[in-house]
Each structure stands twice: as C-alpha cells, then as structure tokens.
Amino acid sequence: MARVSFPWIRPLWQQLSEASLAGTLAHGVGIEFQPELGSEQLLEQLSRLLLCQQPIKDSKAIRACGQCKQCLLYKAGTHPDILRVAPEPGKQLGVDAIRKVGAFVQQRSAQGGNKVIQVLQADAMTLAAANSLLKTLEEPPADTFLIVSAAQFSLLLPTVRSRLMMFPMPRPDTAMLRTWFAELAPESELTSAMLNYAQKRPLTALQLLREHQPLPQAMLDDLLCGTVQLPKDADAIAQLVKTILESLHLILRDYYERNALPEWATRFQSLPKERFAQAISDCYQAGIHLRNDLQGPGLNANLLTQRWLHDCRSQLTC
C-alpha cells in the first residue's frame, strides 16, 4: 500500500520533534512497535530529523528538509551514521548484534552530525544482549541517539526500561478514523464493527475497505496470530464469536463449493489445503457448540471463549 499519513500520531510527533530541535530529546527513546498505527513511519521520521542539517519548522510541523546532504544520503539508504539492528525472523536478538551497537557508539560520526541507532524488536533481546545494550544506554555520547522499538515494553529488563523515555503509540478514535477513511477510502461503507476493528488495526481496515473485502479476513488473521481481543461484556463476546464463525463459514463454503480456499484465507496459512480446511471445519463445529453454550446462564463466557480461541489457533497453525 502506498504511504499514508497517520493523523493520530501528530501530537506525539510534535512532542518528539520539538524536543529534538530544542536539544532536549532523551538519548534513549522507546517507541512502541505498532506498524498498524504508524510506528515505523514515526521511527523513520525521527531518525531523519535527527540526521538532517537544516530541519524545517513551519506553521504545520517540524520535519527534515529532504534536500541537504544528510537527507539525500538517508534517502539513498547509504547514510553512514545510522545503524539498524533487528533479529532475524523468528529468532532472538543476540548479543553479537548489540555489540555492533556498542562499537558504533564508540565511532566518531562520519558526517559530523548526530548518530542514530535503531534497535528493532528489542523485546526479542536475549539477556546477554539486554545487558550489553544497558551499558550503552548508561553513558551515551552527546551526539548519539538510540531508538528502541518493542511491541511489549514490559518484556524489556526494568533496568533497560528505566534508561529509556518511552512513548506508547497513540490510538485513533472513531471520529478521527471516519475522517481518515472518508479521505482514503471514500466509497466505502463503514460499519461499527469495522470502526472498532480499525482502532486497533487501521491499516488493515483501510486495505479491506479499499478492496471491498469483508471483515472476516481480518478476523482470521487475528485468530491465527492470537491477537483476538475479547470485549468485557458477555453479549459483546457472543457477538464476536458469531463474527468469527461467519468468517470460518465463508472459508468452508468456498472450499466445499469449488475445492479452493478463498485467496484472503491463505495469506498466513501454513498447513496443506486439506488439513487447513479440516481444521477450519473442526474449529467451526466447536464454535457452534460454544455459541450455543454462551446463550445459557451462569457460564464464564470469557474463559470458554479464550479456550476455544486457543484451540483454534493450535489447530490452524502447524
């Protein structure tokens, strides 16, 4: 998807960019990893601003100029004063990668300006890596900024956390989302379910609306990723179960009618088609039981549904 702007991060950007210009930005900054909410753009925008020689400040915002030598090097991906470390997919972030950070911090800035280090998915650091990072965070040189990105700050060592100024990603409210969608997907029909979903995953919601895809695709993604969020009240849980069942039903319908899975259902699918369809069918059957159980009195809807979601996830992933 082409780059979009995230209006809900503007107040946070203002705070970060003003501190950067005023020279009061902390040398260790933690940004919550929430790509759906624009965290990656925020991280890059801040890195670019820290490197730019002639930042622009006008009535709208502060930003990197885009024209100076530093901005051009950044754009070309060849700026020598920025280092990004991230774990390999599915692996932990080890001490070797963090040692690179230590060495980079010791180097003099090649361009004479700031140095920026991005530590991505820092919550996947090993203990040794975290301890090594801590040493760097304890005495960062004046020209060096460490931006640490993690989905769950709570998984970082408390000593690492205490060295960072941490910024959770702001969430959009429904009014903001309505304006955003009106601009970016003007023809789409916004249901309250979609708006609810979009508060958590605005980018996916935007894509669904633009492609006129139903919400089920998103439900399935959440189911497979274990990121379904249960509402507090039992009626809302029952409604959510119903929505998930509808999405499973759509998959089964396609599979039985044309022996194929719908394209949207295969994005994260790791099992062979037949086994996946069988697993979907099993989850569906169990979900129908759950739906009926939830209509009875005196049951712990949250617990039962959590258990069902957990079972679905284990069946649908290998």
Among the residue ranges 16-24, 61-69, 176-184, 253-261, the one whose residues contact Zn ion (CB under 5 A):
61-69
Give the angle 170-174-178 at the CA atoms, nearest 5°. 115
Residue 31 half-sphere exposure, CB side, CA atoms within 13 Å?
A: 30
Smallest distance from the beta carbon of 55 to Zn ion, in angstroms?
A: 7
The residue (of 43 and 64) whose beta carbon lies closer to Zn ion is 64
- CA–CA gap between residue 57 and residue 35 (Å, rounded): 26
Sorted by sequence, the CB contacts under 8 Å of residue 280 that are 6+ apart come out as 248, 251, 252, 255, 316
71 makes contact with Zn ion (CB under 5 A):
yes
The residue (of 63 and 210) whose beta carbon lies closer to Zn ion is 63
Smallest distance from the beta carbon of 24 to Zn ion, in angstroms?
A: 20
Residue 79 half-sphere exposure, CB side, CA atoms within 13 Å?
A: 26
Q: Which residues does residue 146 pair with via DSSP β-bridges, in sequence order?
A: 28, 117
The residue (of 56 and 184) whose beta carbon lies closer to Zn ion is 56
The residue (of 41 and 199) whose beta carbon lies closer to Zn ion is 41
Smallest distance from the beta carbon of 146 to Zn ion, in angstroms?
A: 21
Among the residue ranges 32-40, 71-79, 140-148, 214-222, the one whose residues contact Zn ion (CB under 5 A):
71-79
Among the residue ranges 59-67, 137-145, 164-172, 174-182, the one whose residues contact Zn ion (CB under 5 A):
59-67
The residue (of 74 and 308) whose beta carbon lies closer to Zn ion is 74
68 makes contact with Zn ion (CB under 5 A):
yes
Smallest distance from the beta carbon of 65 to Zn ion, in angstroms?
A: 3
Binder to Zn ion among 12, 31, 50, 52 (CB under 5 A)?
52
Residues 80-139 that bind Zn ion (CB under 5 A): none
Tell me the two tokens of residue 243: 């929505």
* Burial zone of 78 (CB within 10 Å; 0-12 exposed, 13-18 middle, 19+ buried): exposed
Among the residue ranges 64-72, 88-96, 178-186, 190-198, the one whose residues contact Zn ion (CB under 5 A):
64-72
Q: Which residues does residue 56 pair with via DSSP β-bridges, in sequence order?
A: 63
Task: Write phi, then psi, for 91 (nearest 5 degrees).
Answer: -115, 170
Among the residue ranges 13-21, 70-78, 259-267, 288-296, the one whose residues contact Zn ion (CB under 5 A):
70-78
Binder to Zn ion among 65, 184, 190, 299 (CB under 5 A)?
65
The residue (of 64 and 150) whose beta carbon lies closer to Zn ion is 64
46 makes contact with Zn ion (CB under 5 A):
no
Among the residue ranges 58-66, 121-129, 215-223, 288-296, the one whose residues contact Zn ion (CB under 5 A):
58-66
Using an 8 Å Cβ cutoff, are 50 and 20 in contact? yes
- CA–CA gap between residue 242 and residue 280 (Å, rounded): 15
Residues 165-204 that bind Zn ion (CB under 5 A): none
In the chain, the amino acid numbered 274 is E
Q: In what side-by-side order are the strands of the sheet with 115-119?
A: 82-85, 115-119, 144-150, 28-32, 165-167
Smallest distance from the beta carbon of 3 to Zn ion, in angstroms?
A: 19
Using an 8 Å Cβ cutoff, are 148 and 30 in contact? yes
Binding residues for Zn ion (CB under 5 A): 52, 64-65, 68, 71
